[in-house]
């Protein structure tokens, strides 16, 4: 089966998360092919992992007064400030030839990303162990986890995954540029913000920081090409189905755009590495 590509679009946080869930639901029902999706965020948005405690880890008043969006993901992991980045999502499963295990499926996607970065002269490495013990903040990019991508030991991509019925939704943030100060201003930190920023400078990188600035659309195309070449799969540009649009509209209005979801703390299982 050919994979569907949903081309790069910029949208608000509720819509971005609603579309990911709608596509995953459609895929699980057998009504959609495996899908590779790309998107950006307007306004810049702090997304938090399903299990995160916002009261303990996020400065909500700064998020609101600064004009940032806020959304809780269905995936686990820690907080990500989505701003100057390309966000990708992969919805697929074992029936598409993707390895079944959590780490194995992460590696499958990561290897395609590595190949895409090579097109821009970036030699990314796969991180081969779990989250470092020194990670003590609510920030996803504070430390890499299994099969996330680093350059010279600094994290470039942060990802998280939700699994059901031998299938998964994995979405991730690829940093085109990065501001530790912006992120620090939104989190409750155990250290002064200046110290946090200095630490992050040694732990995080971006394509611009590597001297390889790239437009999100160009990077998305390189990722599509890498999937096709590495795995011999056919990817075809497509659109959301009418049913996916209707479900995404309901989810955006009734779930991801509302405080009862975004400000709660999750209690059911989601899988994550970031």
Task: Count how many Cα atoms sit within 13 Å of the Cα of residue 231 in the half-sphere of its side chain.
Answer: 24
Could you read off the pLDDT of 78-109 as tens digits, one per residue? Answer: 899 999 999 999 999 999 999 998 999 999 99
Residues annotated as catalytic are 140
Could you read off the pLDDT of 177-189 as tens digits, one per residue? Answer: 999 999 999 999 9
pLDDT of residue 1: 76
Task: Tell me the CATH number of domain 3-272, given options 3.30.930.10, 3.40.50.2300, 3.40.50.300, 3.40.980.20.
Answer: 3.30.930.10
Q: Is the pTM higher than 0.75?
A: yes
Tokens at 173, concatenated = 């943030």
Could you read off the pLDDT of 188-216 as tens digits, one per residue? Answer: 998 999 999 999 999 999 999 999 999 99
Smallest CA-to-CA distance from 169 within 36, 40, 80, 6 is with: 36
């Amino acid at each position: 089966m050919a994979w569907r590509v949903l081309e790069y679009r910029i949208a608000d946080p509720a819509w971005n998360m609603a579309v990911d869930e709608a596509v995953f639901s459609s895929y699980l029902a057998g009504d959609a092919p495996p899908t590779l999706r790309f998107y950006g965020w307007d306004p810049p948005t702090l997304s938090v992992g399903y299990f995160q405690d916002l009261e303990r880890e996020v400065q909500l008043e700064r998020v609101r007064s600064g004009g940032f969006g806020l959304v809780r993901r269905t995936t686990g992991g820690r907080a990500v400030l989505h701003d100057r980045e390309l966000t990708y999502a992969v919805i697929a499963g074992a029936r598409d030839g993707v390895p079944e295990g959590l780490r194995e499926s992460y590696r499958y996607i990561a290897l395609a990303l590595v190949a895409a970065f090579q097109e821009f002269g970036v030699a990314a490495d796969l991180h081969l162990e779990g989250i470092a013990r020194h990670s003590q903040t609510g920030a996803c990019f504070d430390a890499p986890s299994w099969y996330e991508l680093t350059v010279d030991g600094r994290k470039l991509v942060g990802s998280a995954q939700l699994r059901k019925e031998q299938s998964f939704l994995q979405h991730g943030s690829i940093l085109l540029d990065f501001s530790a100060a912006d992120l620090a201003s939104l989190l409750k930190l155990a250290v002064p913000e200046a110290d946090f920023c200095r630490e992050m400078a040694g732990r995080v990188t971006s394509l611009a920081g590597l001297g390889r600035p790239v437009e999100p659309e160009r990077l998305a195309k390189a990722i599509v090409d890498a999937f096709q070449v590495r795995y011999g799969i056919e990817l075809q540009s497509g659109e959301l189905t009418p049913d996916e649009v209707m479900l995404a509209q309901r989810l955006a209005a009734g779930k991801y755009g509302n405080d009862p979801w975004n400000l709660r703390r999750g209690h059911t299982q989601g899988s994550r590495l970031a």
